[in-house]
Structure 1
């Protein structure tokens, strides 16, 4: 605020100088122009937050100057001053975009307040614009890094579907950027001014998920001490992102289907339906078609969700994007992002060979580790041991051959899965939720596998 530039325009030298001195004493940077024509030249060569102009001047009038300013720099605030104020002039000035209109003679305190308010309003408008730009930059396609053919296909599909309000189903392994894709769809679509609300359906206990989504009335169940709006109400007019939709219990799937079909829902314990204007984007790291065949996911709900399907490729399918992603994450985590040099060729070869079960999220964690322990470049020494050691296991696997007596592949794979479960629990100190995240799966899926192998102690 103290460094705001203000241009004073008046054909009377005494008035110009009076206002300039007043503004400078208030801490502003004041410049002067003796005519509207001179003011326009100054405006073309530099920016001003506020213009204070007389209305009656030889040549272009203050109102004509106002019109030109709004064409040249629409964000500049304009305060008009005149000795001959009329209601018609005031109305015309406000229609043309003037911040305010003040008549001579005016009080010094009055002009101070008007100037301060005009600059505060302009600053808020600028901050709002910057915030919108930041949101659009963050959640547009810049949030999805990659130039491989598979990613270009994703960008093209997102761009098309974002312009509509169609329900979208995003499929892909954990860590492939499904939520980033959902945000890109929302923030590039017609609902971008409204809320984007995300929920991981697999992270909510089964007995709480209905209340979380639809809300409840006071007294509906033990612990419901107040009325509570659910996520559908919170996302009203915007987008609700249902991540890991395949983890939703069957009995609740029917209620989700009703919202999609009838555009209405009911809070737990309520006796009246509520209308819902929400765009649904769902995502899953499981194949929902297989769940439909198994009977764990409703077929009618699947087809309601699968209006447009976006499939996020795994990192294994786009190794050419790894150098771009490494640089992006390095700059994100580094305190000095401008000193990024490169990634060592040996380190890059190892990363391209590594299968990345956790996909982009795993690569992000690896780069963050490298930033913490490394320097301005990523080398083989800064990579985690399990990533480097994988190269050796690949070499060994290339020499592998099936024995003459054959192999029980299912038992072999079960053994590998069980070792991963045990190792993840060991690394996470027995905390199952963290161990599930380490393996890129939901807590419910992790718990299912523990039960499958008789490893669940609860």
Structure 2
């Protein structure tokens, strides 16, 4: 599915010499270069070709690079855009970066750094395409439900799912409440060869302790008071499929011992019976606790080894805030369809508030906020009055802080990137940034 060449680059510049020189450099590096001396022709190319990155001049006759970037942002938002600009248009380039542009260079660029940045841009584009491919595969039979996000953490989760989905090995899914652990479990099942078999989810925290054993293993008539008929347990129900033990850390140690034996022998005994029944299932477990800290106290070490063959960590929403706009868009579509409302948008004020909030309830809390807003919204977009007051108290102040932070965020990004590109060499990083070593160390201390 994935190409082996370096990638396809669209160069846009009205200066023939600049276009020729840079195209030659990139072609020599192994890129397939498409050239255009104006924005309109560049857009025509984008309709015909699959492009991995765009490198565009900022100032051009008629339409400029900023207009091209705005078009790409709306129609092909996954394609990274790198600006080439003169000193007079630096402010425009910085503004474009705050709205999603990948990078900008002042003409003539440092070609070593330019090639490094372009390589990262192409890799990011390819990763996004790979994620979309994996996402389509993983959502085949799950009613369209899929994991939303393009951050590195989500990309890694999707890669892990793709790698282990058809394995019989147990998977432990860890993360705070509301992060979407069950969604990961469903992706593992419905993207696997077991997709046509049952997916059984058990919330161990919500089930009375005295009933969970019969719920898991089943019981015979008369096994205990109230057992008026034979009952099939969840492990039998999951035959050939997948069973998810949600919040497995809530199971008492005595039952953990029985669960361990089931995992080892792949057979169960219903309560009130001595007959062993062979069971075929794939076990997925989830927890919002650190089970390693509970070994020997609340959780058996040997059971943890059994369920933790593959571990998937689902990050809290506060650590993947770049995914919030994508999640909001998904929830808007979902709840507008359910409520039979025309599509609505989100005001800039509301989006600023959503991006500032730390979301202790994670994705589930964000979903609830958008659901409430859809129900209350009267206009074409969600405004501050449609979301809970505790989110936007001081909202205007939060928005101001967000704007003030923009330049600081860019500075942090630049320093980190310079260090990464120079393998931690601070002197070289300072030279690449065009500042003195003393000034660079001062920035490091401040940041």
The TM-score normalised by the length of structure 1 is 0.54
1:201–1:379 CA distance, 2 compared to 1 (3 A): same
The two structures, once aligned, show a CA RMSD in angstroms of 2.6
1:224–1:146 CA distance, 2 compared to 1 (3 A): same
Measured after TM superposition, the shift of residue 140 of structure 1 is: 8.7
Unmatched 5+ stretches in structure 1: 1-132, 396-458
Measured after TM superposition, the shift of residue 191 of structure 1 is: 1.0
State which of 391, 408, 418 in structure 2 corresponds to 1:387.
391
Matched, 1:316 2:328: no
State which of 316, 320, 336 in structure 2 corresponds to 1:334.
336
**CA–CA distance in structure 1, aligned partners of residues 394 and 183 of structure 2:** 29
**CA–CA distance in structure 2, aligned partners of residues 243 and 393 of structure 1:** 40
State which of 146, 158, 167 in structure 2 corresponds to 1:143.
146
State which of 206, 215, 218 in structure 2 corresponds to 1:215.
218
Please name the residue that 1:354 is paired with: 357
Please name the residue that 2:91 is paired with: none
State which of 251, 256, 259 in structure 2 corresponds to 1:253.
256
Is 2:350–2:382's contact at 8 Å kept on the other side of the alignment? Answer: yes
Measured after TM superposition, the shift of residue 139 of structure 1 is: 3.1
Matched, 1:272 2:252: no
Is 1:215–1:231's contact at 8 Å kept on the other side of the alignment? Answer: yes
**CA–CA distance in structure 2, aligned partners of residues 161 and 140 of structure 1:** 21
The TM-score normalised by the length of structure 2 is 0.56
**CA–CA distance in structure 2, aligned partners of residues 393 and 257 of structure 1:** 54
State which of 194, 197, 200 in structure 2 corresponds to 1:194.
197
**CA–CA distance in structure 2, aligned partners of residues 215 and 173 of structure 1:** 30
Is 1:330–1:337's contact at 8 Å kept on the other side of the alignment? Answer: no
Structure 1 segment 45-444 matched on structure 2, within 5 A: 136-137=139-140, 139=142, 143-292=146-295, 295-335=297-337, 339-374=342-377, 375-389=379-393
**CA–CA distance in structure 2, aligned partners of residues 317 and 334 of structure 1:** 27
1:242–1:278 CA distance, 2 compared to 1 (3 A): same
Measured after TM superposition, the shift of residue 342 of structure 1 is: 2.9
SS at 2:169 equivalent: coil
**CA–CA distance in structure 2, aligned partners of residues 169 and 388 of structure 1:** 36
1:349–1:274 CA distance, 2 compared to 1 (3 A): same
Is 1:353–1:391's contact at 8 Å kept on the other side of the alignment? Answer: no
**CA–CA distance in structure 2, aligned partners of residues 268 and 357 of structure 1:** 40
Residues paired across the two proteins, number: 264
**CA–CA distance in structure 2, aligned partners of residues 392 and 299 of structure 1:** 50
SS at 1:281 equivalent: strand
SS at 1:219 equivalent: coil
Please name the residue that 1:85 is paired with: none
**CA–CA distance in structure 1, aligned partners of residues 340 and 150 of structure 2:** 21
**CA–CA distance in structure 1, aligned partners of residues 356 and 138 of structure 2:** 35
Is 2:139–2:145's contact at 8 Å kept on the other side of the alignment? Answer: no
SS at 1:236 equivalent: coil
1:245–1:392 CA distance, 2 compared to 1 (3 A): farther
SS at 2:271 equivalent: coil
Unmatched 5+ stretches in structure 2: 1-135, 400-447
**CA–CA distance in structure 1, aligned partners of residues 145 and 182 of structure 2:** 14
1:137–1:150 CA distance, 2 compared to 1 (3 A): same
**CA–CA distance in structure 2, aligned partners of residues 338 and 327 of structure 1:** 15
Measured after TM superposition, the shift of residue 136 of structure 1 is: 4.1
1:290–1:219 CA distance, 2 compared to 1 (3 A): same
Is 1:186–1:196's contact at 8 Å kept on the other side of the alignment? Answer: yes
